Structure 1
Amino acid sequence: CLGVAIFKKKDSVEGTREVYKDQRGRILVVEFIYGGMNFRLINIYVPNIEVDRREILEELKGLVVGKCIIVGDFNIKCSRLDVGKGVKVRWEKSRGIGMLMEIMREKGLLDVWRYENPEKREFTRRQLKEGTLKQRLHDKSHAIFNAHLVSKAVL
């Protein structure tokens, strides 16, 4: 059984219920009550394959409602700070960036890590591949490779 998962500490929130999960294990949605308010938590994995990426992002668009927190791996670079130095990206063709930004605008989502760290560049993974250092962006509540997006209503 592969896919995304959500774990919670016993008695940390009330009324937890699964709302949706896709058959491939790439999206899991739960709702819960915390501090007397209803929240929706979405854990998502967006694959690198373009057709699958568009399908998953389209599915995500319909799931973002209310006070929503989205965590997961989007595999999308949204700015030059999201790639290693010297890496060339054709931004006009950057896979999925336009669709994700549109969802963020339409649904009032904020990339919390990038909002709090507008000029910071950090990486979670370093890999030497064919003599070249490959890096993956850091997750400290991070942005877009590993993202925490929230509805502005949550803040």
Structure 2
Amino acid sequence: MNSFDSQRQESMKRMWQERMLPKNPNNLLPTSGCGFDDDLVSSHVVPPVTVVLEGRSICQRISLHKHSSYHSLAKAIHQMFVDGGEADSDELDLSNAIPGYLIAYEDMENDLLLVGDLNWEDFVRVARRIRILPVKANSRKRRGGD
């Protein structure tokens, strides 16, 4: 990573901290763990994130802090976008919440990542948008005896 990327990352981190963390009287930033005081972050209300289903013009919003796990998120997404919204909740997970679609998210740096790649608490902290993308079918056509 070059110095410009490093400066950009630090700048974005400061902006996030100023927006998301409660103000403290000494203007000091928390220093424990990975740069954030877990008690401060977890006690602060996380704003809802936008859920975008590719191909639809209307988005939904979901409050991640109201869910306790990826399973709970999968159930909520299924209820939002699948007709009827009823499914066997024991067998529901992110891979089948919306048949034919893949669930990804954009983080603070606008990187697109698969939902489920972080532990739940870290995901709630960094997710800024959830994107539901169609799974592409194999586009190669079979020829003759191949």
Q: Could you tell me the TM-score, scaled by structure 1's length?
A: 0.27
More strand by share: 1
Name which one, 1 or 2, has greater alpha-carbon Rg: 2
Q: Could you tell me the TM-score, scaled by structure 2's length?
A: 0.28
More helix by share: 2
